[in-house]
């Protein structure tokens, strides 16, 4: 995989997480729990981050352990079934 692709995936991860944090910081926990639209938007951004982390090469992940890409990938395994159960 080219370095350009790896950088693009990292940018996707950074952008998606930044959006999720920005949106989450605008509301209280109670407001979040009552707002299905915001829940879906934030969770989708975390899924995007997880999908991008999944596409990073093993070599890139090992050379950048600070990304903890495995945590992002695992997050998708928790979020997707949880969202399916709530609908």
What is the pTM assigned to this prediction? Answer: 0.75
Give 28-86 as a DSSP string: -HHHHHH-HHHHHHHHHHHHHHHHHHHHS-HHHHHH-GGG-HHHHHHHHHHHHHHHHHH
pLDDT tens column, 11-39: 999 999 999 999 999 999 999 999 999 99
Specify the pLDDT at position 66: 80
């Amino acid at each position: 995989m080219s370095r350009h692709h790896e950088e693009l995936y990292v940018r996707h991860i950074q952008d998606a997480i930044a959006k999720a944090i920005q949106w989450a910081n605008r509301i209280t926990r109670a407001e979040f729990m009552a707002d299905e639209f915001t829940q879906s938007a934030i969770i989708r951004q975390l899924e995007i981050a997880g999908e991008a982390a999944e596409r990073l090469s093993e070599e890139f992940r090992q050379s950048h352990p600070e990304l903890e890409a495995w945590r992002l990938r695992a997050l998708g395994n928790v979020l997707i079934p949880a969202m399916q159960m709530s609908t």
